[in-house]
Amino acid sequence: MDDNTNTDSVSLRHRTHQIFEIEHHGLARFINSVLMLLIAITVIIVFVETMPQVRSEYTSWFIWFEYFSIALFSIEYIARLWSAAEIDPEQPWRSRWRYAKSPLALIDLLAVAPFYLGLFIQLDTRYLRVVRLLRIFKLTRYSHSLSMLFQVLKNELPGIISALSILIILIVFASAGIYLVEREAQPEVFGSIPQAIWWATITLTTVGYGDVVPITFAGKVLGIVITIMGIGIAALPAGIIASGFTTEMQNRRDEFRAKLMASLSDGKLTHDELRDIERLRISLGLSLKESKALIRLAGTGHITHCPHCGKDISLHP
């Protein structure tokens, strides 16, 4: 199979690549909708299948649906992998190998692999069924709004890990403390530090089931101190993520303005430049209102506004 000689095959490959990776309307939209629907139905089936009355009645339907989805997901995976050659048509196999190693491709593989693996090896069917839930990650491909969230979480990872370290250290001391003061009053739930971890975690996270509660005076005093610390523990990630979003939004706005100014440097804005700017705006998740305010400057002949923040600078003496 020589990808570069057969023109028809290449042309079909190009079309396939367009549909799966580039376009967002028509046939591409329809295929994506079908795949998303399959994933949603799969999750529902995995869930209701665990109800005995449902399983006994609909098992055969579920099996047929599973064969059907595996078939479609397999075709999707092969089509995406085959058409990945279009990324760099000069090196089709290298492009494919690169694509196959990308997180999105691995998630697609994970969606079908357990089924094929189950044909060769004897796997616990109960766990195999639940493994189908991993297909839910295929949905991340279609979500543009998740990208900023993941970017922020990635940027703030060191802070989040620090907050987690503090939580773990507090759990260690809370467990040891409650063990020392409550072990005699309630040996069945605070009889050892590992047992006490359950209470410490449920309390520090402010979940507070109430299945295990200190009853001694010292235990209640310690409980009060720990619940108050729990508020602080919940505040740390909220503060870190809030700061992360503010920073990321600022960075994105700066990037958009820089690109806009580069297009404006010759004093006018071509139709192509406008389309590029619009694409950037969408990919950065900025509002149309902000974008418009900046573009309006282009019509004034000369720049009378600060190129960085869009504020009027013509008032300066």
The number of helices, as runs of H, and strands, as runs of E, in the chain is 13, 0
Token output for 106: 């691995």
Q: Which of 201, 200, 13 is nearest to 96 (CA)?
A: 13
Residue 297 CB, nearest approach to a copy of itself (Å): 10
Q: Are 310 and 294 in contact (CB under 8 A)?
A: yes
The answer to whether 57 contacts a copy of itself (rule: CB under 8 A) is no
The answer to whether 263 contacts a copy of itself (rule: CB under 8 A) is no
3-state secondary structure of 190: helix
- Give the binding range for a copy of itself (CB under 8 A) out of 27-35, 66-74, 89-97, 243-251: 243-251
Eight-class DSSP state of 312? B
From residue 200 to residue 239, what is the string marking binding to a copy of itself with x (rule CB under 8 A)? -xxx-xxxxxxx-x------x--xx--xx-xxxxxxxxxx
The C-alpha atoms of residue 178 and residue 218 are separated, in whole angstroms, by 9
Indicate the residue among 84 and 178 with the shorter CB distance to a copy of itself.
178
Phi, psi of 305 (to 5 degrees): -125, 150
**In degrees to the nearest 10, what's the CA dihedral of 96, 101, 105, 111?**
130
Provide the CA 222 distance to its chain's centre, in angstroms: 38
The answer to whether 158 contacts a copy of itself (rule: CB under 8 A) is yes
The answer to whether 243 contacts a copy of itself (rule: CB under 8 A) is yes
Q: Interface residues for a copy of itself in 280-309 (CB under 8 A)?
A: 285, 287, 290, 302-303, 306-309
Phi, psi of 22 (to 5 degrees): -105, -55
The answer to whether 52 contacts a copy of itself (rule: CB under 8 A) is yes
Indicate the residue among 79 and 193 with the shorter CB distance to a copy of itself.
193
The answer to whether 102 contacts a copy of itself (rule: CB under 8 A) is no
- Give the binding range for a copy of itself (CB under 8 A) out of 57-65, 70-78, 110-118, 128-136: 128-136
- Give the binding range for a copy of itself (CB under 8 A) out of 24-32, 79-87, 97-105, 188-196: 188-196
- Give the binding range for a copy of itself (CB under 8 A) out of 12-20, 74-82, 104-112, 137-145: 137-145
**In degrees to the nearest 10, what's the CA dihedral of 194, 195, 201, 204?**
-100
Residue 243 CB, nearest approach to a copy of itself (Å): 3
